[in-house]
A = this chain, B = another copy of it.
């Protein structure tokens, strides 16, 4: 009964704000990515924020994109190493900030940036605000598992978390899994270094107790460990931004390592090389499945607008996939759904005085 209805998007009516200047290969990869996304989704319109002198020639090279874009010149760029507090103060006319503001003022349905994560988050929090009931937003992404996909959060927005942050992440993640992944009753796990109740920080233990008693949009399965993530033991993996970031990057790096080992193994004999030729299709499928660009596009959950962060080192294909994540979230009506679920949860909490609103006994 909670299955996401396929909210129809009016054709030629999905405006996305793009920060053209964020990321290692900006603005080239950004514009090429937007062009690729425009081919995939004809309903897309872009508000492109960036240095006109650099972006205009790139748009000229992509007539289809150009025809459905509005280029808005922005004088400033947020550097990749700038502190969030500095970016907030000095970046008011940056491509990043103005692209976010386009969502805040209703011009765009979502914003996509490959720029400085900390600055993007700080600006998005200021401009879009957190949803009622959410203290801190979280960065979330999807990961491949043996059972399909899972969503993991937080990935770096909150280096340290209180019990109530974990609880709110669990809430947001469960709603996301139901809405975006279409899992009716997602399994929610709390990342820890052992499945026993006594393991981990005090904040984790407190969150574990609170989650056991809560009416989540899914079922709480308790603590999960690092190996449980790729095994698919949970559809939603809740963690702090430090551990989540490390888990995500270790997973990406290990997949690369194994692919490297495969290449080395197959180069070692003629027979193996012959086998490689026969199995070329299988290898191609494997490569596609492990392509980190497939999973590009981390979402800031808990804000009143949709903000998608692409990997900074992304190429055009990766950026197009990040735009696809934004299109998906808009199409599923994620913001409305999470608002409704949070309101429902608040009502239920008020009735039962749920522990989610108590403070972490740090």
Contact = CB atoms under 8 A, between A and B. Distances in A.
B254 A282 contact: no
Contacts of A257: 144-146, 230-231, 255
A247 interface: yes
Interface string A306-337: 00000000000000000000000000000000
Contacts of A2: none
Interface string A323-356: 0000000000000000000000000000000000
Nearest to A286: B265
Is chain A's binding surface mostly helix, strand, loop or mixed? helix
B250 A247 contact: yes
Interface stretch (A4-12, A167-175, A266-274, A294-302): A266-274
A72 interface: no
A75 to B, nearest CB: 25
Nearest to A191: B246
- Copies of the chain in the assembly: 2
Given A230-B254, A250-B250, A254-B251, A279 B266 contact: yes
Interface of A: 81, 83, 144-146, 156, 159-160, 191, 193, 196, 198, 200-201, 225-231, 239, 241-243, 245-262, 265-266, 268-269, 271-272, 274-283, 285-286, 289-290
9 contacts: A146-B257, A159-B201, A227-B250, A243-B243, A251-B253, A265-B282, A265-B286, A266-B282, A276-B282
